[in-house]
């Protein structure tokens, strides 16, 4: 590889790494984790707890409480525990 090209790519990589590092407030990070876990639970327990909703439904932040409620109402022990964790 040409040394100038190598230097250019190295500089882009350094700048990208500095720009992409962001600081999250703890509450924002917790909300992101809750949303990710709610989406996973929706997919995992779809047939058991969410059968009347479309499988391709995209869980949003406002849906997390609903997902937790459905898990705790219609799921087994594992689903209930996941729903309880989402309520924290």
What is the domain extent for residue 55? 26-87
> Does residue 70 lie in a domain region?
yes
pTM exceeds 0.75: no
Please name the residues in contact with 71: beta carbons below 8 A apart, sequence gap of 6 or more.
Answer: 41, 45, 49, 79, 80, 82, 83, 86
**pLDDT tens, residue by residue, 38-80:** 999 999 999 999 999 999 999 999 999 999 999 999 999 999 9
Establish if 72 belongs to a structural domain. yes
Residue 59: inside a domain, yes or no? Answer: yes
CB atoms within 10 A of CB 44: 16
- 81 in a structural domain: yes
What is the total count of domains within the chain? Answer: 1
Task: Please answer whether residues 38 and 67 qualify as being in contact, where contact means their C-beta atoms are separated by less than 8 angstroms.
Answer: yes
67 within a domain of the structure (yes/no)? yes
Any domain includes 7: no
CB hemisphere CA count around 45 (13 angstroms):
25
Residue 6: pLDDT band (50, 70, 90) is confident
């Amino acid at each position: 590889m040409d040394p100038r090209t190598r230097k250019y790519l190295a500089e882009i990589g350094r700048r990208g790494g500095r720009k992409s590092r962001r600081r999250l407030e703890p509450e924002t990070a917790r909300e992101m984790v809750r949303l990710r876990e709610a989406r996973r639970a929706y997919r995992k327990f779809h047939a058991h707890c969410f059968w009347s909703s479309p499988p391709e439904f995209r869980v949003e932040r406002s849906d997390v409480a609903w997902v937790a409620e459905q898990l705790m109402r219609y799921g087994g022990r594992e689903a209930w525990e996941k729903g309880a964790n989402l309520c924290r």
